Amino acid sequence: MGKKISSSNSGSLVLWLVIMVEFSLLFSSVFCAEISTRQSVEGNTKGSQVLLHRNKDIVLIDNGLVEVSIEDPSGYLLGVKYKTMPNVLETQNINANKGYWDLVWDNDAIDKLVAERMEIITQTDELVEVSFKKTWKPTADYRSTVPLNIDKRYIVRRGVPGLYMYGIFDRQADFPDAHMDQIRIAFKLKEDKFHFMAVSDAKQGMMPTAEDREAGRCQVLAFKEAVLLTNPTDPRFKGQVDDKYQYSVENKDNNLHGWISDADAVGFWVITPSNEFRTGGPHKQELTSHVGPVSLSMFVSAHYAGNDMDSFYRKGNPWKKVFGPVFIYLNSASPDPNQGYRNTLWNDAKRQLREEIRSWPYNFVASEDFPHSEQRGEVNGQLLVRDRYMDKNLMPAKSAFVGLAAPGNAGSWQTEAKGYQFWIQTDDTGLFSIKNIRPGVYHLYAWVYGFIGDYKLDRTITIQPGNKVQLGKLIYDPPRNGPTLWEIGIPDRTAAEFFVPEPNPSFVNAMLKDNADRFRQYGLWDRYSEIYRHGDIVYNVGVSNYSKDWFFAHVPRKVGLNAHRNTTWQIRHNLQEVNEAATYTLQLALAAASHGEVQVRINDPTAIQPLFTTSRIGFDTAVARHGIHGLYRHYSINVPGNRFRRGENTIFLTQKRSRNSFQAVMYDYIRLEGPAV
Ligand SMILES: *[C@@H]1O[C@H](CO)[C@@H](O)[C@H](O)[C@H]1NC(C)=O
Ligand SMILES: *[C@@H]1O[C@H](CO)[C@@H](O)[C@H](O)[C@H]1NC(C)=O
């Protein structure tokens, strides 16, 4: 009765099976930059000219800093020679397993996007760009390769110790239906050289080896990606957990990661100067680098979103997209005994990242499908928030995320996977200027820290080359029906502010020493049943503190080896008066959901019919993948006043699904609003 649901997440109708698409591919692209003489990036005229050699089945591009070899015509990256390293890629791997694109499509089939012909696009002293293409043809066995035209590009520039890679993929209208769930480049680096991995300032360290993850050296934990190292080649890792998902980061932060060879004092870095070609917006999490040694450039995936991602491509809808360019950067330093070179290499890679961002969109890219800056447009405006229960005046949307993405419903950007997205954060006054937008038709979306729900501007925005769209003042009216009676958490689309327990000492990954990463430790879901062994959470409004008393994930209770039971959390609160004739609102914002279901009951925990249920929702696997959020969902639940009574009231939140530890939700924020005044 009287319930209103507004889910800002696209309640996906995608019917296919629950696939946890996950792959561990390694990629690494190798380029070299030498720190001492590195001026070359700005000064294209420095350094040797770029030379292109074609042998029978190998294309070599050499600029005197790096020598890149690519298989002809497959387009596999075979090697990058840099400084003292004849090849930074693993020479013992087969050609298809060194540096390659791959795509996961229908039913988990993996297609390595093998090209059929090579073409020289640009060949000057300053730059060589080559293309490896394949045109898809229907064959009797047409399910054997993904219905997609492929154009993989490599660029080597004069004076630049590295390699730019991008892909132009398209589907013609008559291509058959296909799911395309994951697209990426993988680099598999030289195993005996690269042992030190860096993903952020805080997340850096020596890593176990691929062998350490093999039988006899480790124990597989709750899922195959997570292992406990029991007999690692380097005894320092004994008792540590390894799981590639512990190194995931949000798109907005996923712009630099890689490895260092201590023996050579050489760094290999994947630099991603723009997120325009990634899917799911700024907060979608993706893999980076992991044991192998592997580095990935993730373009499309279902990670931390699952089947809600819009990755089904229908016959009749032609599609084309440019992924990248990404930059594979190599640098070197003089090896120094106190290991200062690692910092030197990391800091130089960060400097190079800033340089690449400054050069975006690259004007040296030849494809006409990649517009240069003068062919792009700009959108400016100011976002304000109107919530009269918080402030009579309009409030600036400070540090809000504002973005353009394919037209859709409010919030649809987080599951959008086919187009380009352009995001920026507002300043303290809510002003924003989104630059370098590709021509196209978009909706403008936003979300504002501290406010629930999703903003969408109620008109489409068409970008034409060179135009500047001035939107002026935009006003966001977040969901709000009455004054706040109480609230739990911060509306920030994550569960980070809640109680994240210490890991079980037997399942620690020592690289996650930064407090900001503590939720990425393994096995926190099991801590719930240990910490709350005498009963589920009872939260007393006004007394409890959500940082200590509200567990970050609403997981089932473990009651046996493979047995779990639903859990019911209580929110106890006092209402001094109740207007029985009026309507109250429970604002329920979720930060993640994986086959979970939240049921809401008021004052009667045994009521057969809950006042509200989310129904079973979500595939984002945020709990198992150590994310602190997956996809955001928001529900405004109407509560008739006669459900409450004067004095003590209890809201019962039951997470009903309990087949395993990972059927769960995470809350972002909960608020009870009184009747409108
Ligand atoms: C809640 O707990 C946190 C963590 O212990 C603490 O920093 C904070 O001050 C507490 N808040 C209140 C209102 O007591
Ligand atoms: C929770 O589990 C208990 C015990 O298995 C069961 O009796 C109850 O109906 C379940 N509650 C809900 C809301 O499904």
Cβ–Cβ < 8 Å for 294, 341: no
Atom 14, ligand 1: residue with shortest CA distance = 545
Atom 2, ligand 1: residue with shortest CA distance = 547
pLDDT at 4: 39
SS3 113: coil
Mean pLDDT of 53-78: 97
Q: Which residue has the higher pLDDT, 17 or 416?
A: 416
Q: Per-residue pLDDT for 117 more than 70?
A: yes
d(CA 221, CA 596): 22
pLDDT at 46: 66
Contacts of 571 (CB under 8 A, 6+ apart): 488, 539, 541, 650, 651, 653, 670
d(CA 123, CA 387): 58
Cβ–Cβ < 8 Å for 187, 296: yes
Q: Which ligand is nearest to the CA of 600?
A: 2
Mean pLDDT of 267-292: 98
Mean pLDDT of 16-41: 33
Q: Which ligand is nearest to the CA of 607?
A: 2
Q: Which ligand is nearest to the CA of 499?
A: 1
- Provide residues with CB under 6 Å of ligand 2: 565-566, 599, 654, 656
Q: Which residue has the higher pLDDT, 514 or 418?
A: 418
Q: Per-residue pLDDT for 13 more than 80?
A: no
* Beta carbons within 10 angstroms of residue 249's beta carbon: 19
d(CA 19, CA 302): 9
For a mutational test of ligand 2's pocket, the pick from 536, 554, 557, 566, i.e. the residue with the most ligand atoms closer than 8 A to its C-beta, is 566
How many residues are listed for the chain in this entry? 677
pLDDT at 141: 65
Cβ–Cβ < 8 Å for 558, 589: no
Atom 2, ligand 2: residue with shortest CA distance = 566
pLDDT at 339: 66
pLDDT at 28: 32
Q: Per-residue pLDDT for 17 more than 50?
A: no
d(CA 352, CA 365): 18
Q: Per-residue pLDDT for 15 more than 60?
A: no
Mean pLDDT of 94-100: 98
Q: How confident is the model at residue 364 (pLDDT cuts 50, 70, 90)?
A: very high
pTM: 0.92
User: What's the 144 CA to ligand 2 centre distance in angstroms?
Assistant: 46
User: What's the 482 CA to ligand 2 centre distance in angstroms?
Assistant: 33
Atom 7, ligand 2: residue with shortest CA distance = 566
Q: Which ligand is nearest to the CA of 610?
A: 2
Q: How confident is the model at residue 142 (pLDDT cuts 50, 70, 90)?
A: low
Q: Which ligand is nearest to the CA of 557?
A: 2
For ligand 1, whether the C-beta of 515 sits within 6 Å is: no
Q: Per-residue pLDDT for 514 more than 90?
A: no
pLDDT at 29: 33
Tens-place pLDDT, residues 619-662: 999 999 999 999 999 999 999 999 999 999 999 999 999 999 99
pLDDT at 361: 98
Residue 238 CB-density burial (10 A; 0-12 exposed, 13-18 middle, 19+ buried): middle
Q: Which residue has the higher pLDDT, 14 or 399?
A: 399
Closest of 80, 517, 515 to residue 270, by C-alpha: 80
Could you write out the DSSP letters of every residue in 495-525? Answer: STTSB-PPPPGGGB-TT--SGGGGGGSTTHH
Cβ–Cβ < 8 Å for 590, 633: yes
User: What's the 544 CA to ligand 1 centre distance in angstroms?
Assistant: 9
Sequence letter at residue 405? A
Q: How confident is the model at residue 5 (pLDDT cuts 50, 70, 90)?
A: very low
User: What's the 566 CA to ligand 2 centre distance in angstroms?
Assistant: 6
Cβ–Cβ < 8 Å for 90, 187: no
* Beta carbons within 10 angstroms of residue 562's beta carbon: 9
Sequence letter at residue 439? P
Atom 3, ligand 2: residue with shortest CA distance = 566
For ligand 1, whether the C-beta of 545 sits within 6 Å is: yes
Quick one: tokens of 629? Answer: 């959020």
Q: Which atom of ligand 1 is nearest to the CA of 548?
A: 2
Atom 11, ligand 2: residue with shortest CA distance = 656
d(CA 590, CA 637): 13
Quick one: tokens of 636? Answer: 């405004």
Tens-place pLDDT, residues 431-485: 999 999 999 999 999 999 999 999 999 999 999 999 999 999 999 999 999 999 9
For ligand 1, whether the C-beta of 433 sits within 6 Å is: no
pLDDT at 107: 76
Residue 515 CB-density burial (10 A; 0-12 exposed, 13-18 middle, 19+ buried): exposed
Closest of 8, 648, 126 to residue 366, by C-alpha: 126
pLDDT at 140: 62
Closest of 555, 552, 624 to residue 591, by C-alpha: 552
Quick one: tokens of 561? Answer: 């080896």
Sequence letter at residue 213? R
Q: Per-residue pLDDT for 1 more than 90?
A: no
User: What's the 659 CA to ligand 2 centre distance in angstroms?
Assistant: 12
Atom 6, ligand 2: residue with shortest CA distance = 566
* Pair type for strands 440-447 and 461-463: antiparallel
Where b means 16+ CB within 10 Å and e means fewer, 204-222 reads bbebbbbebbeeebbeebb
Cβ–Cβ < 8 Å for 88, 68: no
User: What's the 565 CA to ligand 2 centre distance in angstroms?
Assistant: 8
pLDDT at 336: 76
